[in-house]
Amino acid sequence: MAETSFTARTLSSLAGVPPAEWDALANPPESDGGQPYNPFVSHAFLNALEESGSATPETGWAPAHMLLEQNGKLVGAAPAYLKSHSQGEYVFDHGWADAFERAGGHYFPKLQCAVPFTPATGPRLLIAPSEDASLHRTALASALVQMLEQHNLSSLHITFLPEADWKALGEIGFLQRTDQQFHWLNKGYRTFDDFLGELSSAKRKNLRKERARALEAGLEVEWLTGSEITEAHWDAFWVFYQDTGSRKWGRPYLTREFFSLVGERMGDDILLIFAKRDGHPIAGALNFIGGDTLFGRYWGCTEFHKFLHFELSYYQAIDFAIERGLARVEAGAQGGHKLVRGYAPVTTYSAHWITDPGFRAAVEEYLTREREYVAEDMEAMRRHTPFKKG
């Protein structure tokens, strides 16, 4: 241990690190012990957020990516941002911010280790598999904590991280938080009907009716990936995205340029699902394709058709996952309505470091109660799935 020499530095732009070096940590080959490919921590995705003006200091997401070097070699990295607000995170700490400000503190800026606007579980402490991986992870987490003191920041929040990293961070003093999402789990189904066969009779009939109703106005569904996606497709989807974003968040988080950049640089990781009437798109759902997961991200429409949202965002995603042999579909944050459509409750994890001792104690007490509530709610949800009992 005494001979170990780590150097930590931050980057104000991901353009400051070669893509190959970043991706070697973010998505090491599974043959070398890496996890299934996650598109959101790739250099292409994160850099597109910055280059497009979506995640920048002007939008309250000032890049402060952490790099960890050992004897001159890059051994760890973390996508991190100095935040001046709590928007676009999906792990809500508005109450914490209000309480700390009322007590005379300054909650912002804070340090957020996350993928902006993306409530999808994936690696946050990017470490290549090796016999020193645990050591590198601890050193990287420590460097992030030290950044709080260096810049007089209130807190560090590492969100939507894998359970194993969550447990490891808990062991070195991070506060632990849980929440839930709804994911569709592929049990080796060959067809959508195979999946329906595991549901109760009433639920099975309901899903079939919804699928029929969604497209009964003569709508057609189109899947697009890779070079099939053109700028005209992105123009159409941009209209859908703006409509949904303005209703949900007040203003859309992503710029139009972002979609062009990811389409150009990682098109093979994208599934765009359109509903078309008379050959013209009237609704769409954007998904990203991981190594074993289809990640549903955005949906929108210019015409309302009952159940069309469920068809494009949930059922078509299941169809694609079955065809590709993917293990799961993650359909984004929230949505108890996904439960009756065969999406199962799963736990999500975040880890937090609070610098003020008194405030830390209060948050820790709150999180203890919250974890108990989440566990109880998860158990109740499992008792009400649409699958056949037993």
Query: What number of other Cβ atoms are within 10 A of residue 289's Cβ?
Result: 20
pLDDT tens, position by position, for the chain (390 residues)?
A: 335 689 999 999 999 999 999 999 999 999 999 999 999 999 999 999 999 999 999 999 999 999 999 999 999 999 999 999 999 999 999 999 999 999 999 999 999 999 999 999 999 999 999 999 999 999 999 999 999 999 999 999 999 999 999 999 999 999 999 999 999 999 999 999 999 999 999 999 999 999 999 999 999 999 999 999 999 999 999 999 998 877 766 678 999 999 999 999 999 999 999 999 999 999 999 999 999 999 999 999 999 999 999 999 999 999 999 999 999 999 988 777 999 999 999 999 999 999 999 999 999 999 999 999 999 999 999 998 999 986
Give the list of residues 6+ apart from residue 172 with CB closer than 8 angstroms, or none.
138, 141, 142
pLDDT at residue number 2: 38
The proportion of the chain whose per-residue pLDDT surpasses 90, expressed as a percent, equals 93
Task: Name which of 108, 93, 145, 152 is nearest 362 in CA terms.
Answer: 93
The pLDDT value given to residue 228: 98
pLDDT in tens, 101-145: 999 999 999 999 999 999 999 999 999 999 999 999 999 999 999
Cα separation, 201 vs 215, whole angstroms:
22
**What gap in Å lies between CA 9 and CA 64, rounded to an integer?**
9
The model's pTM is 0.96
155-159: strand order across its sheet: 61-63, 80-83, 110-113, 155-159, 344-354, 175-185, 328-330, 293-301, 280-289, 270-277, 220-225
Q: Look at the chain and count its residues.
A: 390
Asked if 199 and 384 count as a contact pair (C-beta separation under 8 A), the reply is no
Q: Which long-range contacts (CB under 8 A, 24 or more apart) does 55-61 make?
A: 55/81, 55/116, 55/117, 57/82, 59/253, 60/84, 60/85, 60/87, 61/88, 61/112, 61/116
Q: Kindly list the structural domains of the chain, giving each domain's residue range(s) and its CATH number in brackets, ordered by start.
A: 6-180+347-382 (3.40.630.30), 187-326 (3.40.630.30)
User: Which run of H or of E encompasses 15?
Assistant: none
Cβ atoms 338, 386 nearer than 8 A: no
- Tokens for 44? 């292409």
pLDDT given at position 247: 72
Supply the pLDDT for residue 1: 36
Kindly report whether the peptide bond that precedes residue 109 is cis, defined as omega within 30 degrees of 0.
Answer: yes
